[in-house]
A = this chain, B = another copy of it.
Amino acid sequence: MSNPTIPDIVIGRLPIYLRALNRMIQEDKDYTSSHELGERLGISSAQIRKDLSHFGEFGKQGTGYNVTYLHDQIRHILQVDREWPMAVVGVGQLGRAVANYRGFQARGFRVVCLFDVDPAIIGQEIAGMTVQPMSKLKDEIQRLGIQVAMISTPLETAQLVADQLVEGGVRAILNYAPITLAVPPDVHVQYIDPVAHLQRMTYYLKP
């Protein structure tokens, strides 16, 4: 961990700041302020200043933040000023969408290998990659030095896949299967479960 005193919730907001700064670069904006960033993101300017202050002094009183400079600094902090090779396990419809998604590369990631258990899917060419059998998973991710993987299998197999990924050296897992994974403390897991997001909102709706 780069700095154990920085709360993970702060780290979790940095990608959101990065995304907004990237958008500002596309808009040819040279300078911004914590106020403007906050307006765009629905986060208070005080929170943004406090979050960034964990990492240094990025803005100047009066002129605010240089957009490109702050963007590059956050990329560096998050270590996405390089490209992380990724494995995708589970090549159903979601896995295919992930394999073909063009939004990874500009933001620090590239899918480099695909795995599945289904003999009908193994051997298929998807996004320029050949789907490999699960039996090759551990060797292949070791060989390629892969630390980042996505699980897009059914929930029944997700834990088994996670175990194999961890054995092969993966330290960051994005899990699309709707199940909480058990992993060693040095392995990071993030979850994407669209239904959980939806359920969080229906609480507030009038039936």
Q: Which residues of A contact B (CB under 8 A)?
A: 1-2, 8, 11-12, 14-16, 18-20, 23, 40-42, 77-80, 82, 84, 86, 93-94, 96-98, 100-101, 103-104, 107-109, 147-148, 150, 171-172, 174, 178-180, 188, 190-205, 207
Contact = CB atoms under 8 A, between A and B. Distances in A.
Given A93-B96, A100-B93, A198 B205 contact: no
A199 B14 contact: yes
Of A12, A15, A93, most buried by chain B (CB within 10 Å of CB) is: A15
A197 B190 contact: yes
When A and B form their complex, which 9 residue pairs have the shortest distance between CB atoms, in order from nearest? Answer: A172-B201, A15-B196, A190-B197, A15-B199, A93-B97, A188-B201, A107-B195, A79-B202, A78-B199
Nearest to A22: B178
A195 B86 CA distance: 12
A200 B15 contact: yes
A105 to B, nearest CB: 10
